[in-house]
Chain A
Amino acid sequence: MLNLAFPPQLASVVSWLPAAPPSLAFSAAANRLLWPALKALDWQALVGRRYAIRVTDIGLTLRFTVTARGFAPDSGAADLTISASARDFLLLLSRREDPDTLFFSRRLVSEGDTELGLIVKNLLDALDPERVLGRLPTPLARAAQRLMAA
């Protein structure tokens, strides 16, 4: 079992920070890692919609939108908000846990446009993992691969 619990003291500090820098960093990372793989799929339905990812135990909210050129930070009211703990997000990203499983057990909360949520889920599921990992620096890619195989 992974132990990724975030120290509560640190969480209260993070929740105080402005959301813009993390959202900017997230968009930059997503453009580098996800965008090339996403562009191979049917991504147009994502464009112009606003998204929020809430990492509940850290108190961190990432806000972004998707344009024809990729991810961009955003501050407006989200069409879709996905909330979960850092650990559960990592389990999802490493494909060790299924989002429906987390949703049924109430660990993943999706608010807003249900159809958009399903589109996002299905697109993430369809991303070619090798294409995503190939964008990571080698040591990180190896660590991610180990995580996915565990």
Chain B
Amino acid sequence: MPLDLICPAGSLVSLKTAIDHGADAVYMGFRDNTNARAFPGLNFDEAQAAEGLRYAHDRGRRVLLALNTYPQPDIWSRWTGAIDRAAKLGMDAVILADAGLMRYAVKNYPQLRLHLSVQGSATSYEAVNFYREHFGIQRAVLPRVLSLPQVENVVRHTDVEIELFGFGGLCVMVEGRCLLSSYCTGESPNTAGVCSPPKAVQWTDTPSGLESRLNGVLLDRYGKDEKAGYPTLCKGRFEVGGETYYAIEEPTSLNTLDLLPEMLKIGIAAIKIEGRQRSPAYVAQVTKVWRAAIDSVKKNAAGFTPAPAWQAELNKLSEGQSHTLGAYLNKLSEGQSHTLGAYHRPWK
């Protein structure tokens, strides 16, 4: 099925909300750092996961488990234990980044469907096919660094299903290889499961603006009417060469509604919505819009234009100032500058 809608579920309430609003599948994590949204109070224990699976399967939808961090040698069993539980619960797939875990899954649960996580950082069909040959992966989520022609090239040379991010917070685009926050906290996102551990985050309202700090390091200072963003090091404003600006990454959200006809034509299997850390209200709003958009493009791809009301709803939900089409359009957008994004950065 082309363009399956994959929605985020940080809790059982969000899972049910996503299903009720038209998600084809949801993705979730267990309540520890085996997934990249290891926030306190978020995620599923085994009983909640079982109930979520029942709710989805009763309605003909699927549940995918994100096991997308990199296991540490001394607690390797926490990750393999999560795979054991996923298999026992009857997850429709597990989303893995680590090759060792894939090997464990294939050896012990040959029936368990494997998806390659975006954190696996496979950007070429050679890499995707490597995972196919060795571990039999069924689907790969591509990192948000490829332009659409590059995505198309991957799709053409593999029989692995390809999933793309469609909407939500952007990452600094070294997915699976980012160690940035360990500079401040000693913990890296791909092992501890969060970019900015909440215990290290501090928000302070000062006369010169709202300040966010990570373990004491000033990340950003927002003026009175400026939109705020997540307190991650990559999206901070820093003084470089006498100028203060987003030196690493703009705090924009990805929004690819405009690209749906091309994604359909290329043969993209699924569209992923970011945001397991968000609330049921976000899940409802974003799922509703994307369900309507995907149904509309499937009915009439040639005549598809995103409804202004959809864009307005999605804009409201985003962090930072604006939306971007991300890297997907890099090759096409010269001269038709869509938004800030990468375009006005270091080569300024």
Contact = CB atoms under 8 A, between A and B. Distances in A.
Interface residues of B, number: 38
B344 interface: no
Contact of B198 (A101, A114, A123, A125): A114
B280 to A, nearest CB: 6
Contact of B40 (A96, A97, A119): A119
A45 B320 CA distance: 31
Contacts of B40: 45, 115, 118-119, 122
A100 B168 CA distance: 12
A16 interface: no
B131 to A, nearest CB: 33
Given A106-B222, A114-B198, A118-B39, A101 B316 contact: yes
A92 B280 CA distance: 10
Contacts of A97: 281
Contacts of B277: 100
A41 B210 CA distance: 32
A97 B281 CA distance: 5
Q: Is the interface of A mostly helix, strand, loop or mixed?
A: helix
B47 to A, nearest CB: 10
Nearest to A46: B41
A120 B280 CA distance: 14
Contacts of B197: 115
B11 A106 contact: no
B282 A45 contact: no
Interface residues of A, number: 32
Nearest to A103: B228
A90 B5 CA distance: 30
Contact of B320 (A96, A104, A125, A127): A104
Interface stretch (B96-104, B199-207, B325-333): B199-207
A126 B11 contact: yes
The listed residue with most B CB atoms (<10 A of its CB), out of A41, A99, A126, is A126
Contacts of B210: 106
B164 interface: no
Given A42-B41, A125-B10, A99 B279 contact: yes
Contacts of B279: 95, 98-100, 121, 125
Contacts of B280: 95, 125
Q: Would you list the 8 A-B pairs with minimal beta carbon distance, nearest first?
A: A122-B41, A98-B282, A115-B198, A126-B11, A98-B281, A114-B201, A98-B279, A119-B41
Interface of B: 10-14, 39-42, 197-199, 201-205, 210, 222, 224-229, 277-282, 284-285, 316-320
Given A105-B228, A115-B201, 18 more contacts: A97-B281, A98-B282, A101-B281, A101-B316, A106-B222, A106-B227, A106-B228, A111-B203, A114-B198, A114-B202, A115-B197, A115-B198, A118-B39, A121-B41, A125-B11, A126-B12, A127-B13, A128-B13
